[in-house]
Amino acid sequence: MELAFRGRKSYASQNVMAAVDFDLRFTYVLAGWEGTAHDALVLRDALERENGLRVPQGKFYLVDAGYGAKPGFLPPFRGVRYHLNEWGNNPVQNEKELFNLRHSSLRITVERAFGCLKRRFKILDDATPFFPFPTQVDIVVACCIIHNWVIQDGIDEFFIEDNNFSSYNHATTYSGQAHEHIEMVNFRQSIADQMWADHQENNIS
């Protein structure tokens, strides 16, 4: 059981799934899964809970590729440049790259929120926590709640501006191929096609 919490790290870790709004507030947090747990499994648990994660009607969450495309959840294209620090001065080449660039530009909000959370609460980066695991889970949730309360009047010194964030961005690794729903795959492609058409028209004119 202990090995399940080690994941890619040499020390024990837990998988924390969170939803973040564009004001950098945590709107949903599910902590306590093993560090090796696949993102898709954690998401399914969140959706099946009585008071779990709910997707507003007609809306969707931007997610990383580990979740796969499914109703209410829109990931980037796989096998295409994604993280902002991968682009540099190289322009987009096709509709999938353009979609991924804009997807990353929006989803970086999650990275900024987690970065602020860890800088504000150093206990979250403790590789050898003193507390028993149930308490560690409660600490994660409590820190997110306090974070939301602190920033209700605006961001503070713990946040990093968007244009300075590339050095904090990191490549994400995924375990296994996430199942993708054809409806959301087609929806993503239609968005990408429209973005590309608008992009080409604006460049020509």
Of 13, 39, 60, 20, the C-alpha closest to 175 is: 39
Rounded to whole angstroms, the Cα distance separating 81 from 96 reads 9
Q: Which of 159, 196, 197, 183 is nearest to 24 (CA)?
A: 159
Q: pLDDT tens across 54-63, in order?
A: 999 989 999 9
Q: What is the pLDDT of residue 138?
A: 94
Neighbours of 16 (CB within 10 A): 19
| pLDDT at 98 (0 to 100) | 94
Q: What is the mean pLDDT of residues 17-35?
A: 92
pLDDT bucket at 49, cuts 50 / 70 / 90: very high
Structure tokens at 68: 């796969």
Calculate the average pLDDT of the chain. 82
Where do the structural domains in the chain lie, given as residue ranges? 2-169+176-204
pLDDT band at 178 (very low <50, low <70, confident <90, very high): low
